[in-house]
Amino acid sequence: MSADLAPGSVVLITGASSGIGLGVAHELAAAGHHLVLAARDRAALDRAVESCVRLGAASAIAVVTDVGDDEAVARLVETAQGRDGRLDAVVSCAGVASYGRLEEQPTDVVDGVLRTNLLGSISLARHTLPVLRRQERGTLLFVGSVLGHVATPTMTPYVVSKWGVRALARELQIENRDLPGVRVEYVAPGGVDTPIYANAATTGVRGRPPFPVASAEKTARQVVAALQGRRHASQLSTANHLLRLGFTAAPKVYDAIVTPAFRVIAAERKPAAPGPGSVLDPVPDGHDLSGGHGSGLTAVVREIKRAVRGS
């Protein structure tokens, strides 16, 4: 472990009750840190606390928080510091997704995705940076996405939110250059097998993680490495580089193929029942380390076979 996150550090994680955030909590628990876990669903957060304590956390507390509520985020940060007056690291991981053409998505869903993913990240930064700057040390890490670098059909609110998170991280890296002990980190996962896809709001499109799919555990190890300054590459999947290259170097080709490719690589054929998913309220029983999607390869092969048969 680098000196940056000594055992017994105090770490605040949002979105800590499921998927990548839960994986990060487990990694840090096993390293003996004090954890402050935040998300909206009390029962899922309590389960996360129990598993962290079992794994060896020095301590773990649940603070039910909607990151879209700025006052709640202020209270969360106050509680986190209350332990012993300091905050060593903060992981901004809470996130939701929605599918559907922009004009067909309900207004509250569009606003909800932006509120959690973008405004929630901004609130967390606004309330934690004064603490880190006062201490003159500490790390704030944002979990972005490869979709903060490229465009994809039927995911406008999510894509806009993740481009915003990337911009936020870059702004704050510049604004905090004066204090070398205060680090702002950003990572962009590719496809990760978590419940976010099943919990997404939708007008009918049923999304799934694009191939190649990483596990939440593997992604969590990469996030923790970045948090500790041991990983400098922000892209967490090699496929991200390919996508970004296509998007920037050959935009016309990218635009022509992204919609059919999305259907094969990132969506199920069977439509989903329309609804708000976890965007407006947490989905009970919608929290887990894994989303049960596997590597994604079988689904891609199945879709290609179907397309070939169809043509």
- Report, as residue numbers or ranges, the catalytic residues: 158
Give the residue at shortest CB distance from ligand NAP. Answer: 19
Residues 6+ apart with CB under 8 A from 271: 204, 205, 206
Q: Which is nearer to ligand NAP, 138 or 195 (CB)?
A: 195
Q: Which is nearer to ligand NAP, 179 or 263 (CB)?
A: 263
CA atoms of 264 and 44, how far apart (whole Å): 32
Q: Which is nearer to ligand NAP, 34 or 149 (CB)?
A: 149
Do the beta carbons of residue 219 and residue 192 sit within 8 Å?
Answer: yes
CA atoms of 80 and 21, how far apart (whole Å): 17
Least distance (Å) between residue 181 CB and ligand NAP: 26
Binding site for ligand NAP (CB under 6 A): 14-21, 39-41, 44, 65-68, 93-96, 116, 120, 143, 145, 189, 191-192, 194-196, 199, 209, 278, 282, 287
CA atoms of 277 and 106, how far apart (whole Å): 12
Q: Which is nearer to ligand NAP, 21 or 153 (CB)?
A: 21
Residues 6+ apart with CB under 8 A from 167: none
Give the CA-trace dihedral at 159, 164, 166, 172, to 10 degrees. -170
57: helix, strand or coil: coil
- Residue 248 CA to its chain's centroid (Å): 24
